[in-house]
Amino acid sequence: MPSSIGVRSIRPSAKSRLLKMLTLTTPVRQLAFPAALVCALCVLLMTLLAGMATPGYSHAAQFISELGAAQSAYEYPVRFFGFLPAGIALLAFCGFAYASLPKSGLTTAALGALALYALGYVAAAFFPCDLGCRPTNPSASQIIHNLVGGIGYLLAPGLLFALALGARSWPASAPLSVLGLIAAGVALLGLLTLSPMSPYVGWSQRAIEASVLGWTIACGWYLRTPRSG
């Protein structure tokens, strides 16, 4: 009798959310981490390997997209073995995270913004920037590349901040929330210094990338195990 009273004392909405969090199909939760990891590895390996193979390339002063620019030496490997799988993996992460995390308007909006960020990778695969990525008369491909990628970068600090706030209501997620706030700050710093004319624009871009991808990996790791509080 006492146990049944205890169960009834829990608000139905809170109990249903908890049960959903605990009983969600395990494979979906566990797929979030490998999806985030695949995305990060694609971006990292693409940048390092193509950067090493491209004479004179500067990670500090040049955009990542310059490695896959039209007519560049490694254009097609970078576009279709780097950007494209990275975008697909990050979109998959967004779907797995949406299916696994407690639902809220803030979390849903932030994951939607993250999906737009992921589309920046897909756009880079199909709409490469012009050679050098700083043309005086940009092509249509360059314009689309800048538009889709730029939207993702503009959203990055805000989506990370929103995810950090949303995570405060998730079970046992305090470290993830703090990490999200730190990532949002780093992404904002990268965005504020992201000038094509800056000799450190490469580091600014990489700060944004590292913030977003680092948090998604941490969130994927968090989702590997159901948590009750």
DSSP 8-state symbol, 80: I
Determine the residue type at 163.
Answer: L
Q: Which residues of 179-211 are buried (b: 16+ CB within 10 A; e: fewer)?
A: bbeebbebbbebbeebeeeeeebbbbbbbbbbb
pLDDT at 29: 85
Structure tokens at 94: 């967004």
- pTM, rounded to two decimals: 0.87
Q: Where are the domains of the chain?
A: 20-223
- pLDDT by 10s per residue, the chain, length 229: 454 444 444 455 655 565 455 444 457 889 999 999 999 999 999 999 999 999 999 999 999 999 999 999 999 999 999 999 999 999 999 999 999 999 999 999 999 999 999 999 999 999 999 999 999 999 999 999 999 999 999 999 999 999 999 999 999 999 999 999 999 999 999 999 999 999 999 999 999 999 999 999 999 999 998 766 5
CA distances from 27 to 20, 117, 127, 198 (A): 14, 25, 34, 44
